[in-house]
Amino acid sequence: MEGPLQDPYASVAAHAPRPRAQAGRAARIALLAVALLASVGFGALVVAPRLRAPAPESTLVARPTPALVVAIRDLSRLETTEVHVEKVVDLADRQSRLFGLVQATDALLLVAVGHVTIGVDLARIGEGDIAMDPETGVARLTLPAPEVFATRLDEDATYVYTRKTSLLARRNEQLESRARKEATEAIEKAALEGNVMARAKAQAERQITALATQLGAKRVEIRWRDVGVGGD
DSSP reduced 3-state for 93: strand
What amino acid is encoded at 201 in this protein?
K
Q: Are strands 138-144 and 159-165 parallel, antiparallel or unpaired?
A: unpaired
Determine the residue type at 174.
Q
Give the pLDDT band (50/70/90) at residue 232.
very low
Cβ atoms 179, 110 nearer than 8 A: yes
Is pLDDT of 224 > 50? yes
Give CA 227 to chain center in angstroms.
36
Q: Which residues of 169-182 are buried (b: 16+ CB within 10 A; e: fewer)?
A: beebeebeeebbeb
Instruction: Quote the Cα angle for 153-203-207, to 5°.
Output: 115
Mean pLDDT, rounded, for 143-170 = 94
Q: Is 70 exceeded by the pLDDT of residue 105?
A: yes
pLDDT of residue 177: 95
**Residue 98 clears pLDDT 60, i.e. is over it:** yes
In degrees and rounded to multiples of 5, residue 133 shows phi and psi of: -90, 110
Residue 161 predicted with pLDDT over 60:
yes
Amino acid identity of residue 204, one-letter, is A
User: Mean pLDDT score of the chain, rounded to an integer?
Assistant: 81
116 near 83, Cβ under 8 Å? yes
Do residues 154 and 113 lie in contact, with contact meaning Cβ atoms separated by under 8 Å? Answer: yes
Q: So what's the pLDDT on residue 20?
A: 54
Q: Residues 219, 137: contact at Cβ < 8 Å? A: yes
Q: How confident is the model at residue 229 (pLDDT cuts 50, 70, 90)?
A: very low
Give the model's confidence band at 71: pLDDT under 50 very low, under 70 low, under 90 confident, else very high. confident
pLDDT of residue 32 exceeding 80: no
Q: Which residue has the higher pLDDT, 54 or 189?
A: 189
Exposed (0-12), middle (13-18) or buried (19+): which is 69, by Cβ within 10 Å? exposed
**77 in Cβ contact with 152 (< 8 Å):** no
169 with 104: CB under 8 angstroms?
Answer: yes
pLDDT at 58: 78
Write phi, then psi, for 7 (nearest 5 degrees): -80, 115
H runs (alpha helix) in 136-226: 175-191, 196-214
- Among candidates 106, 83, 87, 86, which has minimal Cα distance to 169? 106
Q: Considering only CA atoms, which of 144, 100, 104, 105 is closest in space to residue 122?
A: 144
pLDDT band, residue 184 (cuts 50/70/90): very high
Confidence grade of residue 150 (pLDDT, cut at 50, 70, 90): very high
